[in-house]
């Protein structure tokens, strides 16, 4: 076994030990083996203070740089990351548990794209201008807010960290990033590229640690005027309560319990193929996964049979192996939580139609956190397993008979992040999409993302929108300038 990586905070352009000498480290295991993969600083408010000070010091100069210069630096970061794509993909897999093939195809390329997209977008931004006849000309300016507090999740670690970092620095903000304590390694590795790319010291600072210590200190810091958080709804509520008295800007991308609706006239093969992906990709640990499948009655039995057949054929195993389709869940407590919902489904009268068991025979991964992709039938739409976010490779399948009935099912949770509908009836697709309570609805597809479109949820799935130009509305304040004629 290789010795664990020893991480350090990245503050003011340098890797530094924690501010408090008595602060220790905690272990971060490789989910596929259970062995310690990294030792993560248990940072506290003193480390956050140092990072915020460094970001505040860097802000005047960085916010005054030209968009062309900021773009060039970001494009260099993207190129350096692309040059080391394989190294980062392997690290992401060992830290999070996902297959290396997935990190290679999705996570790291998307992180690269995040930098390139926002780097080029800022070169073509326009401001608003109006004229009051013979009275005045008005125009607007987007002014970067200041030090941005960024908190990223563990499921798509570098992908979603850069989804916040890239627009923040493109807008002219400086920032302090607190990655998830479960998956810190690729954010730490990214720091090693920043100086080489020519990013000035203090523009990006990264502090590792837990939510209650480092995260809480960042959220409540008086010199951090805005917080962007992606994670669970319960944590989002705590952040909202802490930010509100300080009048901070907030972007909260929270939980989801997304519905996948399949009408009888759907392209069956395409709906099945994509539903397998939307149910089990990344071990079901994607906020956009469709964990509630509703199938019109005439094709319900056929759909369930085929879904179970394909779920049973998925390869669960060593994330490094090219044939692996599902890796390990992120941690032992999370695996226990997901498995507890399988037991709850039985208590609620459901049938485990596929999976529902741990996988303990992975060679070299006997201590890993593996489970079979799971399909559950026989539950009511109001049952807890159908209502609560599980965030694992577990889906429920429920029949419906009318459009009105499934619309009620679709909207019948506290969440509203995303969903899919499968039908060849264009009028129905438009009609249904207009009525669902969700931030994104895909028609005959899933996980198709145009970064020019708004991304975010409604209800308990969050506040605000990300993407261009929406991220710039968040990281900037808009100022009106009125010139008398």
The residue annotated as part of the active site, out of 253, 296, 306, 466, is: 253
**Which parts of 299-454 are beta strand (E)?**
351-354, 358-359, 370-371, 374-377, 394-400, 418-422, 440-443
Q: Let me know if 253 is a catalytic residue.
A: yes
Q: What is the DSSP string of 188-239?
A: HHHHHHHHHHTPPTTSEEE----IIIIIHHHHT-TT--EEEEES-HHHHHHH
**Tokens 């009048």 map to which residue?**
247
Is 287 one of the annotated active-site residues of the chain?
yes
Residue 247's φ and ψ, nearest 5 degrees, are: 55, 40
Rounded to whole angstroms, the Cα distance separating 475 from 251 reads 10
* Cα 472 to the center of its chain, rounded Å: 18
Pick the catalytic residue from 173, 175, 191, 287: 287
Hey, what are 169's tokens? 């620095």
Ramachandran area for residue 88 (φ above 0: left; ψ -120 to 50: alpha; else beta): alpha
Angstrom distances, CA of residue 65 to CA of 58, 60, 72, 144:
11, 9, 11, 12
Question: ∠ at Cα 216 (214, 220), nearest 5°?
Answer: 120
Q: Rounded to whole angstroms, how far apart are CA atoms 36 and 264?
A: 48
Q: Give the sign of the dihedral formed by CA 100, CA 105, CA 106, CA 107.
A: positive
Angle between the 67-83 and 185-197 helix axes, to the nearest 10 degrees?
Answer: 130
CA distances from 194 to 70, 75, 211, 225 (A): 13, 11, 25, 24
* Structure tokens, 292: 């509630």
- Catalytic sites, residue numbers: 253, 287
């Amino acid at each position: 076994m290789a010795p664990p990586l020893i991480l350090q905070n990245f503050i003011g352009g340098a890797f530094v030990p924690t501010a408090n000498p008595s602060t220790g480290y905690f272990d971060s295991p490789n989910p596929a083996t259970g062995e310690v993969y990294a030792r993560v600083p248990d940072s506290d408010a003193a480390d956050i203070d140092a990072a915020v000070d460094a970001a505040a010091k860097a802000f005047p100069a960085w916010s005054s740089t030209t968009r062309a210069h900021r773009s060039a630096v970001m494009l260099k970061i993207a190129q350096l990351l692309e040059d080391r794509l394989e190294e980062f993909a392997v690290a992401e897999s060992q830290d999070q548990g996902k297959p290396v093939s997935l990190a290679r195809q999705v996570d790291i390329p998307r992180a690269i794209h995040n930098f390139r997209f926002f780097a080029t977008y800022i070169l073509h931004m326009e401001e608003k201008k109006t004229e009051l006849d013979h009275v005045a000309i008005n125009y607007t300016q987007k002014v970067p807010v200041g030090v941005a507090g960024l908190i990223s999740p563990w499921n798509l670690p570098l992908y979603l960290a850069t989804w916040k970092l890239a627009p923040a620095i493109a807008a002219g903000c400086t920032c302090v990033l607190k990655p998830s304590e479960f998956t810190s390694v690729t954010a730490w590795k990214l720091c090693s590229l920043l100086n080489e790319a020519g990013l000035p010291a203090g523009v990006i600072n990264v502090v590792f640690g837990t939510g209650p210590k480092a995260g809480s200190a960042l959220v409540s810091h008086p010199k951090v005027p805005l917080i962007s958080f992606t994670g669970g709804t319960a944590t989002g509520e705590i952040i909202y309560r802490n930010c509100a008295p300080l009048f901070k800007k907030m972007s909260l991308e929270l939980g989801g319990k997304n519905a996948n609706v399949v009408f009888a006239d759907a392209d069956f093969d395409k709906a099945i193929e994509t539903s397998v992906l939307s149910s089990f990709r990344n071990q079901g640990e994607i906020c956009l996964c469709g964990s509630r499948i509703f199938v019109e009655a005439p094709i319900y039995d056929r759909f369930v049979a085929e879904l179970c057949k394909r779920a049973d054929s998925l390869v669960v195993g060593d994330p490094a192996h090219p044939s692996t389709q599902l890796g390990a869940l992120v941690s032992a407590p999370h695996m226990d939580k997901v498995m507890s919902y399988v037991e709850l489904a039985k208590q609620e009268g459901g049938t485990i139609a596929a999976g529902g068991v741990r996988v303990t025979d992975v060679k070299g991964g006997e201590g890993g956190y593996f489970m079979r992709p799971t399909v559950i039938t026989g539950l009511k739409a109001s049952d807890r397993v159908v209502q609560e976010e599980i965030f694992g490779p577990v889906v429920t399948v429920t029949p419906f008979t009318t459009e009105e009935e499934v619309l009620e099912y679709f909207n019948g949770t506290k969440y509203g992040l995303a969903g899919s509908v499968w039908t060849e009836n264009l009028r129905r697709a438009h009609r249904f999409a207009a009525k669902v309570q969700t931030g994104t609805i895909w028609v005959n597809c899933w996980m198709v993302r145009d970064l020019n479109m708004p991304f975010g949820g409604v209800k308990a799935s969050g506040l605000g929108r990300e993407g261009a130009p929406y991220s710039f509305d968040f990281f900037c304040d808009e100022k009106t300038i009125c010139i008398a004629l």
